């Protein structure tokens, strides 16, 4: 059997064991680059890093088993990316050295410097340098600059508000990063979402560990609380927040908050907290204009070494007006189509992509759809996602499932926990936060989530 026939047979066997969409996505374009290696290494070629990484982690056993069955000379399997740039070189190399091609491929580890700092909870991805300033956010940006120059005394608290996806999290985290850098270790910074704060307080009350929580939040020089609008409505947490706020404020410690609306419009917020918030600086971030949207897209493209057809960015900037996250989402998908699928993206295709990105929620995707799509994607059963198993092969899919239930369906954490094997809501929060963090740092995971969302769309 020659390489081609051998590989066809292997694929035929594997096709029967994994789902159809997975087979088409990951293995259809695979090839057996070399099997005559004297060490018995069969070299499998995949069209890109995503496929390579995925096939290696999920299908390695299947491939190795099947190859060995069919060809006793094969001892192990290695993987390589084959694309138009390296295909020829690779062939020559294989021909020349039948003694084992040492084709080195750049591993796609998440960049070290992009890890969230466990002490401060800040994500270094959010930098002031990458924050594009325009008329919609220049006041907020200036206020942040003033706070960086004069921590704790000038605008305290600083309260930024604005709609979803307009850059609040980016700006307040960037403030934290800049302050850390400017004052080095002398300034203790802590970033949390208000949900995390609530969670900590509830946990502390339950476990009689209030002192831990008090020192966590009060022994800092800068406390950044994201999405403060969720703080209202629970007496115990609001009270704790009130005391924390006062303690910090009295000692000239800086507080920065973000919210989706001004303090006066948070219905559940206690009067005494509202007046505290209003005692500082309140600034809104509004919708970016066309020029700014285009500038954001250009900046993102510059970071990524991609070449897009003329007019594509203008088209995206024109169509997506109210949400920078959507702007990025569409751009990511455009880049994904071009790089992963090798399609030339036209403005027509962009319109389709916009439809897909903006319609994810409105398509009435159900909990069942998410469970099934995630299970299929990872080749596990929906039941396994709910079971107690702590196996690595199950834990990641389960966390992705929780993440999508939040991200796509907007379900509450208790509800998500309940649907996935009656787990505690804290497990769901942890999963959501973990995956959100990783998505921004790990391009492989990001692409997987994009693919799953794509399948949900078409489910």
Residues 319-378 that bind Mg ion (CB under 5 A): none
Token output for 250: 């009295």
Q: Which partner in Mg ion, ligand ADP, none is near 232 (CB below 5 to 8 A by kind)?
A: none
Cα separation, 227 vs 241, whole angstroms? 14
Q: Is 259 in the site for Mg ion (CB under 5 A)?
A: no
Please report how the helices 210-218 and 194-207 are oriented relative to each other, as an axis angle in degrees rounded to 10.
150
Q: Which partner in ligand ADP, Mg ion, none is near 167 (CB below 5 to 8 A by kind)?
A: ligand ADP
Residues 135-194 that bind Mg ion (CB under 5 A): 169
Which residues lie across from 297 on neighbouring strands? none
How many other CB atoms sit within 10 Å of the CB of residue 314? Answer: 14
Cα separation, 212 vs 252, whole angstroms? 22
Least Å distance between CB 60 and Mg ion?
38
Residue in the shown chain whose Cβ atom is closest to Mg ion: 169
Candidate residues 24, 114, 164, 210; the one interacting with ligand ADP per rule CB under 6 A: 164
Q: Which of 199, 203, 237, 245 is closest to 220 using CA atoms?
A: 245
Candidate residues 201, 231, 283, 296; the one interacting with ligand ADP per rule CB under 6 A: 296
Stretch that binds ligand ADP, among 61-69, 128-136, 240-248, 367-375 (CB under 6 A): 128-136
The alpha carbon of residue 45 and the mean position of all alpha carbons in its chain are separated, in whole angstroms, by 28
52 versus 293: smaller Cβ distance to ligand ADP: 293
Q: Which partner in Mg ion, ligand ADP, none is near 25 (CB below 5 to 8 A by kind)?
A: none
Q: Which backbone phi and psi does 111 adopt, to 5 degrees?
A: -65, 135
Q: How far is CA 260 from CA 162, 228, 349, 451, in A?
A: 5, 8, 32, 29
Stretch that binds ligand ADP, among 6-14, 75-83, 164-172, 426-434 (CB under 6 A): 164-172
Size of the site for ligand ADP (CB under 6 A): 16
Q: Which backbone phi and psi does 50 adopt, to 5 degrees?
A: -65, -45
Candidate residues 30, 66, 156, 169; the one interacting with ligand ADP per rule CB under 6 A: 169
Cα separation, 45 vs 325, whole angstroms? 34
Candidate residues 167, 232, 280, 397; the one interacting with ligand ADP per rule CB under 6 A: 167
Q: Which partner in ligand ADP, Mg ion, none is near 166 (CB below 5 to 8 A by kind)?
A: ligand ADP
Q: Which of 346, 15, 359, 324 is closest to 167 using CA atoms?
A: 324
Tally of CA atoms within 13 A in the half-sphere of 60 that contains its CB:
12
The footprint of ligand ADP (CB under 6 A) covers: 130-132, 137, 162, 164-170, 296, 324-325, 328
The footprint of Mg ion (CB under 5 A) covers: 169
């Amino acid at each position: 059997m020659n390489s081609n026939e051998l590989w066809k047979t292997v694929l035929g066997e594997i096709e029967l064991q994994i789902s159809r969409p997975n087979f088409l996505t990951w293995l259809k374009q695979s090839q057996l680059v070399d099997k005559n290696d004297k060490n018995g290494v069969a070299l499998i070629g995949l069209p890109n890093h995503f496929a390579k990484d995925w096939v290696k982690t999920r299908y390695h056993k299947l491939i190795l088993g099947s190859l060995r069955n069919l060809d006793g000379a094969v001892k192990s399997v290695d993987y390589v990316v084959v694309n138009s740039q390296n295909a020829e070189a690779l062939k020559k190399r294989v021909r020349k050295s039948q003694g084992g091609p040492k084709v080195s491929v750049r591993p796609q580890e998440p960049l070290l410097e992009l890890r969230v700092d466990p002490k401060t909870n800040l994500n270094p991805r959010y930098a002031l340098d990458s924050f594009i300033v325009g008329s919609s956010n220049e006041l907020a940006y200036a206020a942040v600059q003033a706070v960086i120059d004069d921590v704790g005394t000038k605008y305290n608290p600083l309260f930024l508000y604005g709609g979803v996806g307009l850059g609040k999290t980016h700006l307040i985290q960037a403030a934290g990063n800049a302050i850390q850098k400017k004052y080095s270790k002398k300034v203790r910074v802590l970033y949390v979402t208000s949900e995390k704060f609530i969670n900590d307080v509830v946990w502390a009350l339950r476990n009689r560990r209030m002192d831990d929580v008090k020192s966590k939040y009060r022994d800092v020089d800068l406390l950044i609380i994201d999405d403060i609008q969720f703080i209202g409505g629970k007496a115990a947490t609001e009270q704790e927040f009130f005391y924390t706020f006062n303690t910090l404020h009295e000692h000239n410690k800086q507080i920065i908050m973000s919210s989706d609306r001004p303090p006066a419009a948070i219905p559940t917020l206690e009067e005494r907290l509202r007046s505290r918030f209003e005692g500082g600086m309140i600034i809104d971030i509004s919708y970016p204009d066309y020029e700014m949207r285009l500038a954001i897209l250009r900046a993102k493209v510059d970071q990524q070494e991609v070449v897009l057809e003329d007019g594509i960015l203008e088209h995206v900037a024109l169509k997506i007006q109210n949400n920078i996250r959507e702007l990025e989402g569409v751009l990511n998908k455009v880049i994904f189509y071009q790089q992963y699928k090798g399609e030339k993206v036209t403005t027509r295709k962009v319109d389709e992509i916009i439809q897909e990105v903006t319609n994810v929620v409105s398509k009435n995707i159900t909990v069942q759809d998410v469970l099934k799509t995630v299970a299929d994607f990872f080749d596990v059963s929906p039941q396994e996602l709910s079971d107690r198993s702590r196996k690595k092969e199950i834990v990641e899919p389960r966390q992705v499932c929780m993440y999508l239930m939040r991200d796509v369906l907007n379900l509450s954490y208790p509800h998500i926990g309940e649907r996935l094997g009656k787990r505690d809501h804290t497990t769901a929060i942890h999963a959501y936060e973990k995956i959100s963090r990783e998505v921004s740092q790990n391009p492989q995971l990001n692409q997987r989530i994009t693919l799953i969302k794509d399948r949900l769309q078409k489910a």
